[in-house]
Amino acid sequence: MIKHYIIGDVHAEYATLIALVNRLPKDARLIFVGDLISRGSQGKEVIEFVRNNAFCCIKGNHEEYLLKFGSLFLEEVKHQKENSSLIWSYTSLSSTLRSYGFLSRESNKITVKSEWVEQMKQDMKWIEQLPIYFEFGQIKGYQLPVVVTHAPVDKYWLFKDSHPDYFEFHAMNNRYTPSASAPIFSIYGHIPKDEVIIGKNFVSLDTGCGRGKDKKLSAYCVETKEIVSVGCV
């Protein structure tokens, strides 16, 4: 039986991600709920791992931040000399910039190398193409169609075709528990909890990775409903 494991928000904790993957079946099909980057120190490495293995990944709000603010950053550094004093104050982006090499841990001075710029541009192109949801459809053991998004989107599901921009915003930003009358079984991250929460028609997967060494990274198997978690490395 093919097993699909949905992995919660990684938030640039590459070592923790590898520790989790090593506990999953070698032939497992992995799907990430988004927020690969920010908070932790190895966002570039996490993106590289997901890209190189052609894993499915949903676009999260932090990927959207990189697209919006990263493009502004790249435009600004075009006009800056190496080791300039430009201070990039957007904190959620700064950890990602450090992973590419632009910012050092010792200061907010920007250092620019062409290979770093090109890598970030290529990763941003990849992010632009990420889906907003992954639809399993009807699966044995579930009374509703199974859908993976970054944030809970049950009551906005019907807008995915008629109002895609409206749907996309909610699919990346909502912070509520799906209603009992939801038309889908929703698997999502985005809302950090101490443990994976399994409800009647949802699984909430973000267990705080990137928010401290006392947090975890978790995965949920769609077919067996197994939960696998590892502590942050």
Model confidence pTM above 0.75: yes
Partnered with residue 5 across adjacent β-strands are 30, 221
3-class secondary-structure state, position 44: helix
Q: 11, 33, 4, 2: which is closest to 174 by C-alpha?
A: 33
Note the pLDDT of residue 85: 47
Domain parsing of the chain, residue ranges: 4-60+130-231, 62-128
Long-range contacts of 17-24 (CB under 8 A, 24+ apart): 17/46, 17/49, 17/217, 18/49, 19/217, 19/230, 19/233, 20/217, 20/218, 20/219, 20/228, 20/229, 20/230, 23/228, 23/230, 24/219, 24/228
Return the CATH fold of 4-60+130-231: Purple Acid Phosphatase; chain A, domain 2 (3.60.21)
- pLDDT at 195 exceeding the cut of 80: yes
Distances (CA, A) of 226 to 11, 13, 222: 22, 22, 8
Number of Cβ within a 10 Å radius of residue 75:
9
Separation in Å, CA 215 to CA 96, 147, 208 = 20, 25, 5
In the prediction, which pLDDT does 183 show?
A: 94
pLDDT reported for residue 89: 54
pLDDT in tens, 44-80: 999 999 999 999 999 999 999 999 888 888 887 777 6
Three-state SS for 39? coil
Q: Are 105 and 98 in contact (CB under 8 A)?
A: yes
Return the residue matching tokens 């052609």: 54
Query: 23, exposed or middle or buried, with CB in 10 Å at 0-12, 13-18, 19+?
Result: exposed
Q: Mind listing the pLDDT tens digit for each residue in 73-123?
A: 888 777 765 544 444 555 568 889 889 998 777 766 778 889 999 999 999
Return d(Cα 127, Cα 80) in angstroms, integer.
26
User: And the tokens for 74?
Assistant: 């790249």
pLDDT digits (tens, 9 = 90+) for 142-185: 999 999 999 999 989 999 999 999 999 999 999 999 988 899 99
pLDDT at 229 exceeding the cut of 80: yes
